[in-house]
Amino acid sequence: MKQLSSFRARVSAILLLTLFGGQLAKAQSNAPLEKVLDQMDLAGKNFSTAQASFVWDQYTFVVKVTDTQEGNIYFRRAGNDTQMAVDITAPAPKYVVLTGGKLQLYEPRIDKVTVYNLQKNQSEFESFLVLGFGGGGHSMLKSFEVSYLGTEKVDGIEASKLDLVPKTPKVQQMFPHIVLWIDPARGISVRQQLFQGGGDYRLAIYSDIRLHQKIADNVFKLKTDAKTKVQIMSSPD
């Protein structure tokens, strides 16, 4: 009986070690990811505005061509709404404003505004809009499976790399996965790469990032006049 009791005790100990040892290992492996998400949560909690210069590279695998756009981007939290404005300066001037579930694209050269109503897809657009810019860390887990990929030097910053896989099939068809480079000191994204089908991808590189500075209201308004042509479109797919 003593031998049987001793055997049972050893089996119970092994089972407990297996169970809790596995949980401990999992917790340890998730620790770097949790730290980054916590940093992003703190940045999101304190977020008011952000502005930065950008270079956007759109790579098309079939023809091995990269199209590059440059300009400035602005974010501002207004109540529960995050507003965004994009001033594309090269190669052709364009201005994009996203507020209140409506995206407006202004092309000065042809003096035309294209308006998209995003109400049907607002949650998907918002999940992309605030990635790394005030959206928080753990809130990403609602829309993405998130993995920690280590660190990589970006413009002198030892950035944390996160891999995001969209949970919804619709979004996953557009972007099978996304990589973010997060500045650990500020909890914001300094680089983003959105992978598309067929080897295509979109790479966004941000610099001169400024947080919590007042942004003029007219930044989030299009500079048009009565002669500007306006085209209303349904929500983009």
Q: What is the pLDDT of residues 94-114, one digit of tens each?
A: 999 998 888 999 999 999 999
Residue 1, domain member (yes or no)? no
pLDDT at position 70:
97
Q: Which residue has the tokens 């500007």?
A: 228
- Band of residue 6 on the pLDDT scale cut at 50, 70, 90: low
Q: Does the pLDDT value for residue 15 go beyond 70?
A: no
- 173 within 8 A of 200, measured Cβ to Cβ: no
Q: pTM (2 decimals)?
A: 0.83
Q: The domain that contains 87 carries what CATH number?
A: 2.50.20.10
pLDDT at position 18:
52
The mean predicted confidence, pLDDT, of the chain is 86
Which pair of tokens denotes residue 143? 């829309």
For 170, the domain range is: 46-233
Q: Can you name the residues that pair with 116 across neighbouring β-strands?
A: 103, 233
Q: What value does the mean pLDDT take over residues 29-46?
A: 90
pLDDT at position 203:
95
Express each pLDDT in 214-228 by its tens digit.
999 999 999 899 899
Residue 21, domain member (yes or no)? no
pLDDT at position 4:
47
| Total domain count, the chain | 1
Residue 80, domain member (yes or no)? yes
Express each pLDDT in 138-191 by its tens digit.
989 988 999 999 999 999 999 999 999 999 888 888 899 999 999 989 999 999
pLDDT at position 28:
47
Q: What CA–CA distances, in Å, run from 227 to 106, 112, 203?
A: 13, 9, 35
Residue 55, domain member (yes or no)? yes
Cis peptide leading into 32, omega within 30 of 0? no
Residue 9, domain member (yes or no)? no
pLDDT at position 165:
95
Residue 6, domain member (yes or no)? no
Look at phi and psi of residue 5 and say left if phi exceeds 0, alpha if psi is from -120 to 50, else beta.
alpha
Q: Does the pLDDT value for residue 230 go beyond 80?
A: yes
Residue 50, domain member (yes or no)? yes
Residue 2, domain member (yes or no)? no
pLDDT at position 190:
95
pLDDT at position 29:
53
* Rounded distance between C-alpha atoms, residue 144 and residue 156, angstroms: 28
- Band of residue 89 on the pLDDT scale cut at 50, 70, 90: very high
Among the ranges given (1-10, 46-55, 134-143, 185-194), the one the predictor scored with the smallest mean pLDDT: 1-10
